[in-house]
Structure 1
Amino acid sequence: MDTAEILKKVRQIEIKTKGLTNHIFAGEYHSAFKGRGMSFSEVRDYQFGDDVRSIDWNVTARFNHPFIKVFEEERELTVMLLVDVSESADFGTVKQDKRALIAEICAVLAFSAIKNNDKVGVIFFSDGMEKYIPPKKGKSHILFIIRELLSFKPKRKGTNLSETLRFFNNATKKRSIVFLLSDFLSGNYQDALNIASKRHDMVGVHVYDQRDKELPPVGLIQMSDAETGALQWVDTADRRVREYYTQQFLQHSQYCRNAFLKSGAELVTVRTDEDYVKALQVFFLNRA
């Protein structure tokens, strides 16, 4: 996409995702992700029914009238988006490719975060860290993130989730809400995920295309591995070939589910031709 096309697409995503944030996810994000605790806000006159344990005895003694302490939730959080920009993210066969879907989901999450006065940062990764955008607040920052999501060109093609999580674990000491968005076509990342989940509130967003899972029976075709460039002729008319292809996908997916379950993290699964809004709604409501 050229600059004009990118800006047009950014505007389209902004309009759609801000609408979703305002009308569908309003309050659900807030309920799903609690603040770090309660902080003192003010004192006010004691009213019938107030918890006597909240009485401020020093102020009460000074004015010879009962006052209570009022606390409020510390809302400011840091949201980190760990975004897979490897070559396989450019794959999509029906409605959109995985990269476009990931960009839209990131926009929804980012606008939801700033609506709640939270900071948002991004790490783009392939088989290593590609780019780091420090957490900030504000609409202009979110629009910058969306532009980068649409236009960023990675230096490498592969995927290494373990290396990415290790970098994040070493670079980010402050506890954050972390959304890891990927097709999870990577090797073993269990240990790194375990460490990250202990330090942060980890949520995986598994994005896949129907053709990642199933091959159509269209005869002999030449297939290319997006991340290695390897070419191979595949006879899709052979039922055993199609079954093997599906089995490989199911093994990756099962490993992903097990890894997040064992680490205590959560996982949302979205297909490129399905409505991600419903999946996010269910996730937010289950956490509330």
Structure 2
Amino acid sequence: MADAKNAFAQFFEKIQNVFKQPTPQTAQPVAFGEAGLNMKSIIGKLRRYEIRIRKAVNTSMQGDARSVFKGSGLEFDDVRQYQYGDDVRTVNWNVSAKGHGVYVNTYKEEKEQNIFIILDVSESQQVGHKGKQKLDTGKELAGVLTLSAIREASSVGILAFSDQKEAYVRPDKGSKQASQIIKVLYRLVPDSKKTDLTKAIQQAMRLIKRKSVIILISDFIDQNYETALKGMSQKHDLICLHLSDQREQRFPALGIVPILDKETGKKTWVNTNSDAFRKKFMNQFAQKQEELEKICHQYQADYVGIEAGEDFVPKLVKLFKVRKTKRK
């Protein structure tokens, strides 16, 4: 146990040491929270999240596979006769055509997994109090999932997007890779305020050459991305982390006030005391959430709704436990 703890500490020390190296002059550090935090503090916070997740998952799933991302990379193993409840998409039609019954392919988990994170950094993510905006939560999620992947000796990469590619780190392994991704995340200043989910998904599909766990972190405030999302879920093991802010679900009664669309700059005056407005506002969010969740369920992608600023660890723990159970 002591050796394991020492190895764990050495792993994060390697990451922190990389942050002590000089960074390019083009890097633009941004504040994290109201007072701003240095990279050592950020790594420490992400490390505490990662420890909580791993401890909770491994404690309840003793003897199970090592990976919290279980079920990501699958490779062909064998064929067997069809049994009630098998996914029809695994039917091996060539073998079944020989007339000896219906056969399905079986798979085993690859020893090496590829994790790819897609993070929405558009202006709509910057809603809420400083340090507790959707973007802050998104960065924390991306950071802690990066650490989890690296701890499992998996390759991990990231694409940050708005309506264009804002940053990209190609998948790789090791503590230097983790530090590179986290450094890019927390020093990134997006060039564009807009969102194009379809374009981001298409870019990711071109960049990712092998079946991977893809973690899409966004508020999904966009239109006509459903087809692209379906295509990604059919080719990869997709996890959608849906970020929201409490004001998008429960708009406060403030009288007649201007509402600013941060991506377009358009300002609209609305009566927030109006029951009709408040009902329409809440219904729009609920409908969008329901539609996204339905798409994920239909195409066997995982869906988790996360509110900005909340303690997301319990939800991630639940997600990983479910993934381990349903992919046994």
Aligned-partner Cα distance in 2 for 1:74–1:88: 37
Q: Which amino acid aligns with 1:246?
A: M
8 Å CA contact retained: 1:169, 1:195: no
Query: Who is 2:82 aligned against?
Result: none
Identity %: 29
Once residues 120 and 68 of structure 2 are traced to their aligned partners in structure 1, the CA distance between those partners, rounded to angstroms, is: 27
CA deviations over 1:34-61 (Å, ceiling 9, x no partner) = 454599xxxxxxxxxxxxxxxxxxxxxx
Pick the aligned partner of 1:187 from 223, 241, 248: 223
Structure 1 residues 160, 200: closer, same or farther in 2, change over 3 A?
same
**1:32–1:284 contact (8 Å) kept in structure 2:** yes
Shift in CA distance, 181/231, structure 1 to aligned 2, threshold 3 Å: same
CA distance in structure 2 between the aligned counterparts of 1:203 and 1:285, rounded to whole angstroms: 14
The aligned residue for residue 100 of structure 1 is: 136
| Distance across 2 between alignment mates of 1:157 and 1:17 | 29
Out of 214-223 and 12-21, give the one that drifted further. 12-21
Preserved CA contact (<8 Å) 2:134 2:309: no
Q: Is the 8 Å Cα contact of residues 90 and 99 (structure 1) preserved in structure 2?
A: yes
Equivalent position of 1:155 in the other structure: 191
TM-score normalised by the chain length of structure 2: 0.71
Tell me if structure 2 keeps the 8 A contact 1:180–1:204: yes
* Contact persistence 1:83–1:180 (CA under 8 A): yes
The corresponding residue for 2:39 is 7
Structure 1: runs of 5+ lacking an equivalent: 40-71
Residues 86 and 156, structure 1, Cα contact 8 Å, conserved in 2: yes
1:75 and 1:116 in contact (8 A); partners too: no
The 4+ residue runs of structure 1 with deviation greater than 6 A are none
Measured in 1, the distance between the counterparts of 2:165 and 2:278 equals 34
Preserved CA contact (<8 Å) 1:81 1:106:
yes
The yes-or-no answer on 1:202 pairing with 2:234 is: no
Change (3 A) 1:271 1:6: same
Alignment of 1:126-275 (within 5 A): 126-275=162-311
Partner of 2:49, secondary structure, is helix
- Say which of 20, 43, 47 aligns to 2:52: 20
- Tell me which moved more, 213-222 or 112-121: 213-222
Per the alignment, do residues 283 and 216 of structure 1 end up closer, same or farther by CA in structure 2, a change over 3 Å counting?
A: same
How far 1:161 moved relative to its partner? 1.1
TM-score, with length taken from structure 1:
0.80
Shift of 1:26: 4.4
The answer for unaligned runs of 5 or more in structure 2 is 1-29, 78-107
Match of residue 11 from structure 2: none
Q: Distance in 2 between matches of 1:145 and 1:25?
A: 24
Aligned to 2:27: none
Change (3 A) 1:121 1:208: same
Counterpart in the other structure of 2:24: none
CA drift of 1:136 comes to 1.2
Give the structure 2 partner of residue 65 of structure 1. none
Asked whether the equivalents of residues 113 and 212 of structure 2 are also in contact (C-alpha less than 8 Å), the reply is: yes
The question of whether the paired residues in 1 share the 8 Å contact of 2:167 and 2:184 is answered with no
d(CA) in 1 for partners of 2:69 and 2:187? 30
Whole-angstrom distance in 1 between the partners of 2:210 and 2:289:
30
Q: 1:83 aligns with which of 119, 130, 134?
A: 119
| Higher Cα radius of gyration | 1
Q: Structure 1 stretch 258-267 or stretch 80-89: which is displaced more?
A: 258-267
Q: How many residues align?
A: 256
Provide the aligned C-alpha RMSD in A: 2.5
- DSSP 3-state at the match of 2:156: strand
Q: Output aligned runs, 1:111-126, within 5 Å.
A: 111-126=147-162
Letter in 1 for 2:277: V
Contact 1:13–1:107 (CA<8 Å) still a contact in 2?
no
What is the Cα deviation at residue 233 of structure 1?
1.5
In structure 1, C-alpha distance between the alignment counterparts of 2:175 and 2:50, rounded to whole Å: 10
Does the residue aligned with 1:5 lie in a helix, a strand or coil? coil
